């Protein structure tokens, strides 16, 4: 593994995920934060907004060409969907060796980009410089489904509930604490982008029903799986334990995980395994922090992998 220090920049650093990325980079022994770009915070010191960061580095308002001119070893794009293209084009033109990790959905359906869900796709990484970070809901769904993927008898049904940080910092009904108080808000109940994402990458149709709840962070994903073989609860637990035996960030537990116990943690809990009478219907529950394993932690895994570093460097586990 490499022991050199690499420079990294963040575009779109004002949001919740940007804050988590700054924290992870600050703790990293081999990464140096070269710039943070945010239109709203330009000119302000990073340390004034993030207690984990020390020094005089300031936020800048950088366009695509200015980002490319920084000459970073890696750039993390933490932008809303639909905004990454000019940054990718500028970086490819000026410095094609730069590793780009895109946290938006813009490249998740692009086959020339490595789709970075390491626990499932690590073997597909062949040195690609372009890495697409999976969606938070999509990460939970794929990790919950994959051990039983070959035994499916029909589309998995996925009931997801996220904290309102998943709706970003731009004001909307889905991140308004007053509207969410004592409420569970369903939205995009068919054809959600993460439904299409999981369907594309698992190569099976998936049905997903997202909701947003009053808590700030964390996802609960309850997945209903119809199988073509009869199983027992013990069979299922043993299968998941074997499948994720070597994964430091995935914890297979007996009981149904609670979202309050995963908030602020970098891994995933999968449990609550229940088998319906007849043995062909299984329900599995997965929880993760949407800002961490659903975004920043996964980006750090992917960046470490691309730079030849320990995949878990700077990630508490």
According to the model, what pLDDT value does residue 169 have? 62
Residues 169 and 198 both lie in one domain: yes
Model confidence pLDDT, tens digit, residues 171-184: 777 788 888 889 99
- The catalytically annotated residue of 91, 99, 136, 221 is 136
**Residue 311 domain-assigned (yes or no):** no
Looking at the fold, whether 34 and 12 belong to one and the same domain comes out as yes
pLDDT of residue 179: 84
Q: What is the DSSP string of the chain?
A: ---S-EEEEEESTTSHHHHHHHHHHHT-TTEEEEEEE-TTTTTSBGGGT-TT--SS-BEE---HHHHHHT--SEEEE-PPTT--HHHHHHHHHH-TTSEEEE-SSTTTT-TTSEE--HHHHGGG-SS-SEEEPPPHHHHHHHHHHGGGGGGBSS--EEEEEE-GGGG-SS--GGG-HHHHTT--EE---SS-HHHHHHHHHHTS--EEEEEE-SSSS-EEEEEEEEBSS---HHHHHHHHHHHTTT-TTEEE-SSPP-GGGTTT-SSEEEEEEEE-TTS-EEEEEEEE-TTIIIIIHHHHHHHHHHTTS-TTTT---
Decide if 315 is inside a domain.
Answer: no
Rounded average pLDDT over 71-92: 96
Number of domains the chain contains: 2
In this predicted model, what pLDDT tens digit does every residue of 26-80 receive, in sequence order?
999 999 999 999 988 899 999 998 888 888 999 999 999 999 999 999 999 999 9
Domain range holding 160?
Answer: 136-290
**For the residues 14-30, what does the mean pLDDT come to?**
92
Q: Are residues 129 and 174 in the same domain?
A: no
**pLDDT confidence bin for 2, thresholds 50/70/90:** low
Told to judge if 158 belongs to the known catalytic residues of this protein, a careful annotator would answer no
pLDDT tens digit string along 125-180?
A: 999 999 999 999 999 999 999 999 999 999 999 999 999 987 766 777 778 888 88
Residues 146 and 108 in one domain: no
pLDDT tens digits along 253-277: 999 999 999 999 999 999 999 999 9
């Amino acid at each position: 593994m490499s022991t050199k220090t690499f420079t990294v920049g963040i575009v779109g650093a004002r949001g919740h995920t940007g804050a988590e990325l700054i924290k992870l980079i600050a703790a990293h022994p081999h990464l140096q934060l070269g710039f943070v770009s945010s239109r709203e915070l330009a000119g302000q010191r990073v340390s004034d907004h993030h207690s984990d960061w020390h020094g005089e580095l300031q936020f800048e308002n950088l366009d695509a060409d200015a980002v490319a001119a920084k000459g970073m070893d890696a750039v993390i794009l933490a932008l809303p969907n639909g905004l990454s293209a000019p940054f990718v084009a500028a970086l490819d033109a000026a410095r094609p060796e730069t590793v780009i990790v895109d946290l938006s959905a813009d490249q998740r359906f692009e086959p020339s980009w490595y789709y970075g869900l390491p626990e499932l796709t690590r073997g597909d990484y062949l040195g690609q410089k372009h890495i697409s970070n999976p969606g938070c809901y999509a990460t939970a769904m794929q990790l919950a489904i994959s051990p039983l993927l070959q035994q499916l008898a029909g589309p998995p049904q996925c009931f997801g509930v996220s904290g309102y940080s998943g709706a970003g910092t731009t004001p909307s009904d889905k991140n308004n604490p007053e509207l969410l108080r004592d409420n569970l808000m369903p939205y995009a109940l068919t054809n959600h982008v993460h439904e299409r994402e999981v369907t594309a990458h698992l190569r099976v149709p998936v049905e997903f029903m997202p909701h947003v709840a009053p808590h700030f962070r964390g996802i609960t994903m309850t997945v209903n799986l119809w199988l073509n073989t009869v199983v027992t609860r013990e069979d299922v637990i043993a299968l998941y334990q074997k499948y994720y035996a070597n994964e430091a960030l995935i914890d297979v537990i007996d009981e149904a995980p609670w979202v309050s116990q995963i908030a602020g943690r970098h891994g995933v809990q999968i449990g609550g395994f229940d088998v319906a009478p007849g043995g062909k219907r299984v329900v599995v529950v997965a929880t993760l922090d949407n800002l961490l394993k659903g975004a920043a932690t996964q980006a750090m895994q992917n960046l470490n992998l691309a730079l030849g570093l320990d995949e878990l460097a700077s990630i508490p586990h």
